[in-house]
Amino acid sequence: MGFPIREKCLLLGLGQIGMGYDLKLDPSTTVYTHARAISQHPAFELLGAVDPCPSQRSLFEKYFGQPAFTDLEEAWKESAASVVVIATPTETHSDILNKVLSFKPKAILCEKPLSFSLLEARKMVEDCESAGIKLYVNYMRRVDPGSIEVKRRIDSELISGPIKGIAWYSKGLIHNGSHLFNLLEFWLGEFVKGKSLDAGRFSCGNDSEPDVLLEFERGKVVLQAAWEEAYSHYTIELLSPSGRLRYERGGGVITWEHATEDPNFPGSKILMTTPEVIPNGLSRYQWCVFDQLAESFSGEVTSLCTGRQALTTLEGLKQIIKQE
């Protein structure tokens, strides 16, 4: 699609997702950060960034050739933007969003989760809606082409119901488990109820790592905690009467095995021996986010996670945590 108007972007936060993850990686194959995605996408222009750390600001200016500021108000005077990206620590999201609202951009893209506080998150969503400003939350897995194809197959019943599954996450239910919870909502529909199976331990200060049973409109999934200090682990396995879906390595590998006749035992079925690989774009996941953000500005329907949808995710997770 064509992009006649370039939306001007201001990036708040130059940590890993802001700039760090892909700084030394090949830009032709890897787009993990907001800074690289904005600088590469033809629909956007990177005006500058804000971060309190001098070394991070220097790196940004060196690699992206745009100014970096210590103060949001100063940055805005120099570079008023139509899109603001909030890539700061979670506990700062609410205060920063309140400041950004006074500048009246067209859209805000906020890192997940919106907040660790449900009341705070609700106010953030309501304030953006009242101001007529689009709020999106960076649950990037739901905009990946592979995830969208999985949803298409579930919606069309190529992956038929009922669906049962098991999933693994690490580094906190709210912090990282929410990625998989949000993706399961995208695939399986509205969250119905949850049950804590094991309270687990605490992680990331005020986050916890329970094992939980989740029920969605189209199926049930057991979500279990792994150990981030040992290795990161994010996988989903969904079983359907029509076959098995495997979402491995955080979505870097997606495969489908459909049920087929057993050649050795007539009347019986087995899973196909050679899985179908569903192509994905996870190596350029942040570019996919901004590509869909561009489409949203053009009035297209996208799978971007809205602030309201991210709030629903947080409400579901908080419901589970209260059972501990």
Distance of alpha carbon 279 from alpha carbon 308, whole angstroms: 29
Confidence (pLDDT) at 80: 87
Tokens encoding 217: 């409109």
Confidence (pLDDT) at 203: 72
> Which tens digits make up the pLDDT trace of 232-243?
999 999 999 999
Q: For the sheet containing 305-306, what is the strand order?
A: 68-69, 44-50, 7-12, 83-86, 107-110, 134-137, 305-306
Q: How wide is the angle at C-alpha 75 spanned by C-alphas 69 and 81, nearest 5°?
A: 130
Q: Which amino acid is at 176?
A: N
57-63 CB contacts, 8 Å cutoff, 24+ apart: 57/14, 59/14, 59/19, 59/23, 60/14, 60/19, 60/35, 63/19, 63/23, 63/35
pLDDT-based confidence at 136, cuts 50/70/90? very high
Query: Does pLDDT of 4 surpass 80?
Result: no
> Which tens digits make up the pLDDT trace of 88-99?
999 999 999 999
Rg over alpha carbons for the chain, rounded to the nearest Å, is 21
Query: Does pLDDT of 186 surpass 90?
Result: yes
- On whether the CB atoms of residues 137 and 90 are closer than 8 A, the answer is no
Confidence (pLDDT) at 288: 98
pLDDT-based confidence at 323, cuts 50/70/90? low
pLDDT-based confidence at 324, cuts 50/70/90? very low
Q: Which residues contact 310 (CB under 8 A, 6 or more apart)?
A: 112, 113, 114, 121, 125, 137, 139, 182
Confidence (pLDDT) at 202: 82
> Which tens digits make up the pLDDT trace of 252-287?
999 999 999 999 999 999 999 999 999 999 999 999
Set out the domains of the chain in order of their start, with CATH numbers. Answer: 7-140+287-306 (3.40.50.720), 145-280 (3.30.360.10)
Distance of alpha carbon 109 from alpha carbon 107, whole angstroms: 7
pLDDT-based confidence at 321, cuts 50/70/90? confident
> Which tens digits make up the pLDDT trace of 22-42?
999 999 999 999 999 999 999
